[in-house]
Structure 1
Amino acid sequence: MIIDPKQQSKKDNYKLLIGSVLPRPIAFVTSLGPNGTLNAAPFSFFNVVGTQPPLLAFSCIRKPGGVMKDTARNILEHGEFVVHVVDGNNVAMVNDTSIDFPPEESEAEAVGFTPVPSEAVKVPGLKEAKIRMECRLYRHFVLGGTDEEPDCDHLIGEVVLFHIDDALCDGGRIDTVALDPVGRLAGTTYVRLGEMFSMPRLSYGEWREKTNGA
């Protein structure tokens, strides 16, 4: 089957993307609204994009009519946000923050998260996350759509401070099993850790030797 994305709707392309690019990590992002309300929202168009400095990026798909989502607007106004890792203990509450709460109400607090002060940014973090990363806005790009109705806001943040549960750290590495990360699949489906396996990365010489020069 060959599908031309230009010959189908945005919704249909979206379905193909989220059903093909998976599992996707989830950025659970807190930001400050215009009146100081703590906004929280999950985004699965998310990944690491740099290490020096450490950079995270996520995309906020705009609402109908090209209207910017609260998270993107808040970050552009204040230049700061906090990214939390979603895990098996907090995923139910994270999912509940996707409910369409009124702008003046904090989703995070409404569903049971506990705000805690950050150290390098003004945006609070959430106590229930085993990993959270304080970020400052590094770059913002408006992508896709038209000039009148852009498709999304792509936000890149520089991590200025890591908060990691002591139980997760071992020699500077994260214990993946203890973290119990949760990712997104298609639709409303999430995924936890399944079978894990390791494969060595061979040098070219090692690969030639292993394959007998084939």
Structure 2
Amino acid sequence: MFYDFSGEAAALGYGILANTVTPRPIAWITSCDETGRVNAAPYSFFNAMGGRPPTLAVGFLAGINGWKDTARNLRERGEFVVHLVSQDLAAVMNQSSAGYPPEVSEAEVLGIDLLPGQRIATPRIAAARVAFECRLLQFVETGAFQGTAVAEVLGAHIADFAISNPARGHVDREALELIARLDGRSRYACDFEVFDMPRPDVE
């Protein structure tokens, strides 16, 4: 079956991507508006995009009235924090995805404890096992209130218990217990059957 997204299948694009490009890590983002109010919301069109400098990208889709709070905040302030989501934070992360109005801080109403950033003014979620302080490099609009934020990671907070070799930055992936998004609806996964397949050398 071929779906031509330039034709009648255009409306199926989100569902097909969300249900095939899996598992996807979750970017639980904190950002601030012009008053300093902290917004916290999850996005799963997200991944790492480079290492020198460390770079990641997050995709944003339209809200009911245009840009959602997170996209608007990071475009205006040029910074945000991306947290990866461990299994113990899954429920509160999911609750933060509800359609709270702009004047409501999800961090406040959900009782999410925050800590100050080291390189940026935006605070991070205290309980997150991984948090990336980010500076926006570019925001590419790809459609009507759809876009991708490309950001440089200025620094990473990693839970001490998950660091296996501090000098080399080695992280115990299993200790992080990160969850991933499996579709465009409500399915998530915490871990997978793991197999090892070393990269081959050319003889």
Partner of 1:84: helix, strand, or coil?
A: strand
Aligned residues with identical type, % of pairs: 38
TM-score normalised per structure 2: 0.93
Rounded to whole Å, the distance in 2 between the matches of 1:109 and 1:176 is: 30
Taking the TM superposition and a 5 Å limit, the aligned residue runs for 1:1-80 are 1-8=1-8, 10-64=10-64, 67-80=66-79
Of residues 175, 180, 184, the one that matches 1:183 is 180
Rounded to whole Å, the distance in 2 between the matches of 1:128 and 1:152 is: 30
1:89 CA displacement: 0.9
Evaluate the alpha carbon distance shift between residue 188 and residue 10 of structure 1 in structure 2; reply closer, same or farther with a 3 A threshold: farther
Rounded to whole Å, the distance in 2 between the matches of 1:5 and 1:153 is: 18
1:120 CA displacement: 0.8
Equivalent residue, structure 2, for 1:194: 192
Structure 1: give runs of 5+ residues left out of the alignment: 145-149, 206-214
Larger-gyration structure (1/2): 1
Rounded to whole Å, the distance in 1 between the matches of 2:121 and 2:23 is: 31
Count of aligned pairs between the two proteins: 199
1:24–1:184: 8 Å Cα contact kept in structure 2? yes
Q: Deviations over 1:42-73 (max 9, x none)?
A: 110101111111011101112257x1111111
TM-score normalised per structure 1: 0.88
2:31–2:39: 8 Å Cα contact kept in structure 1? yes
Of residues 160, 167, 190, the one that matches 1:166 is 160
Q: CA RMSD in A?
A: 1.4
Partner of 1:103: helix, strand, or coil?
A: coil
Rounded to whole Å, the distance in 2 between the matches of 1:185 and 1:63 is: 21
Rounded to whole Å, the distance in 1 between the matches of 2:52 and 2:172 is: 23
Rounded to whole Å, the distance in 2 between the matches of 1:24 and 1:85 is: 11
1:109–1:115: 8 Å Cα contact kept in structure 2? no
